[in-house]
Amino acid sequence: MPAIIILVFLAFVGYFLRASYYKQPVDTRTRWLTVRVLWALVGLCVIAAATGRLHVMGALTSPLIPIAWQLYTRFNPLNKATDDSKQRSQASTSTMTRSQALKILGLNDGATPEEIKSAHRELMAKYHPDRGGNEFLAAQINEARDQLLG
């Protein structure tokens, strides 16, 4: 009976984790999954130590898992690329010219505020980070709208 309860619990957890995984932006899914796997390992170590199924040395070394995770995130070359993209998005707050803003939104000179808002809405629906786009493009589109609407 306890095995059935555990299996049902794991099935529910798996279902909700799967749904949550697919809600994550594509570029952060690997990191999200890695964090969840490491937490699962920590949980298994704690349960095994509490039930006496883990050797004393295993119980003593299990706190090294979060330390290993910190080292991994600090020295992982993929995180460097993510940091660079954040710096680029912060650097994009520089002033944008009107012609650049029109080009980004795909408009001609003399566009009305309604046309600007409509173009902005369409592009954000396509390139918003929650819909698979990235933060840099969304920031550029927002900055173009702000530049044109004043």
Per-residue pLDDT reduced to its tens digit, 58-79: 777 777 777 777 777 777 766 5
Quote the longest CA-to-CA distance of the chain.
75
Residue reference for tokens 């299990």:
62
| Domain spans in the chain, listed from the N-terminal domain onward | 2-75, 94-149
Query: Which of the given ranges, 1-5, 14-18, 94-98, has the highest pLDDT on average?
Result: 14-18
Regarding the domain delimited by 94-149, which CATH topology (the fold level of the hierarchy) does it fall under? Helix Hairpins (1.10.287)
pLDDT of residue 149: 87
For residues 137 and 36, what is the distance between their CA atoms, to the nearest angstrom? 29
49 pLDDT exceeds 60? Answer: yes
Per-residue pLDDT reduced to its tens digit, 91-116: 444 578 888 888 988 988 888 999 99
Question: How high does pLDDT run on average in the chain?
Answer: 79
Q: How confident is residue 40, by pLDDT bands cut at 50, 70 and 90? A: confident
84 pLDDT exceeds 60? Answer: no
CB 140 within 8 A of CB 94: no
CB 129 within 8 A of CB 138: yes
Length of the chain: 150
For residues 146 and 57, what is the distance between their CA atoms, to the nearest angstrom? 59
pLDDT of residue 63: 73
Predicted structure pTM score? 0.40
